[in-house]
Amino acid sequence: MERLQKVLAQAGIASRRKSEELITSGRVSIDGEPCTTLGTRVDTTKSRIEVDGVEITRQRLVCVVLHKPTSYVSTTSDPEGRRTVMDLVDGVPVRVHPIGRLDYDTTGVLLFTNDGDLTNHLLHPRHESKKTYRVTIIGMPEKDDIERLKKGILLEDGVTSPATVRVLRNHPAESVLDLVIHEGRNRQVRRMFEALGYPVKRLKRTEFAGIQLNGLRVGEWRMLSKEEWDRLYRSVNLEVPPYPEDLVHSFKREQIREKREAESDGVHRRIRRRSGK
């Protein structure tokens, strides 16, 4: 339940103060009944809110997670004409933007939203959102290198904050590590390993602010679950807005329909092949 003036302001009807004037002057109704009381709380998923008899369409906030492939830039457009991650989320029912960036050759978790507050909070150093990277490097790091990663490494833009490191595979040709950091400097992980003399061969972000891929295939996206949604907003001390349940359900229905169509296309193709038509 949210305050009526906030709902009107978020829907872009008017500023918070002008919205209050609209209410007190009797121009706003809830489910057909005029409402002139400031601070009235409404459930926007259930009530029909009208201004001068016209229903407001509140812009629902959404957040999706994409499994970013390599060879895509994370900006909304690219002067060099390369493919952008926006090409991969064009099925999202509202216009969203990426929360931060991954390098052209980095894969993994990239969040998108239409909520500017959420973006700013997640990217603000104060909230120190946790990022986990699976890093494949050329060479085998020494014990001392791991200690340096943990303590902080001097890069040209300053010493990195302490990191958590787990070595998954140690081999002279190629090693694999999980690195957890709370900063988001440009090309930070690659630069940290390069500073130690180990070129990064593959880089995948497996988690950002508690959100993981959960089996999402490369190039695919999904809406956050309600549990992820609540956890994400709380992780940056933001009030949790209404979960876009109807959008999530209609998206799931659409996915099931597309899957059935693809399966039925496959069956028809097989039948045609067998019957030689």
Enumerate binding residues for ligand URA (CB under 6 A).
102-103, 106, 187-190, 203
Shorter beta-carbon distance to ligand URA: residue 70 or 235 = 70
Q: Nearest approach, Cβ of 122 to ligand URA (angstroms)? A: 14
Shorter beta-carbon distance to ligand URA: residue 9 or 180 = 180
% helix / strand / coil in the chain, to the nearest 5?
Answer: 30, 25, 40
In the structure encoding, which two tokens stand for residue 53, read together?
């008899």
Contacts for 277 with CB less than 8 Å, ≥ 6 apart: none
Torsion of CA 229, 231, 232, 234, to 10 degrees: 120
Contacts by residues 244-250 (CB-CB < 8 Å, ≥ 24 positions apart): 244/60, 244/61, 244/62, 245/45, 246/45, 246/60, 247/60, 247/62, 247/93, 247/94, 247/223, 248/223, 250/93
Shorter beta-carbon distance to ligand URA: residue 101 or 127 = 101
Known catalytic membership, residue 43: no
Q: Nearest approach, Cβ of 273 to ligand URA (angstroms)? A: 44
Q: Nearest approach, Cβ of 153 to ligand URA (angstroms)? A: 13
Q: What DSSP state is assigned to residue 31?
A: T
Candidate list 103, 105, 117, 178, residue with the active-site label:
103
Shorter beta-carbon distance to ligand URA: residue 29 or 106 = 106
In the structure encoding, which two tokens stand for residue 16, read together?
């918070």
Q: Nearest approach, Cβ of 82 to ligand URA (angstroms)? A: 15
Question: Which phi and psi (to 5°) does residue 125 adopt?
Answer: -55, -30
The three-state secondary structure class of 196 is helix
Q: Nearest approach, Cβ of 104 to ligand URA (angstroms)? A: 8
Shorter beta-carbon distance to ligand URA: residue 183 or 254 = 183
CA–CA distance, 20 with 140 (Å, rounded to integer):
64
In the structure encoding, which two tokens stand for residue 69, read together?
């492939």
The residues annotated with a catalytic role in the active site are 103
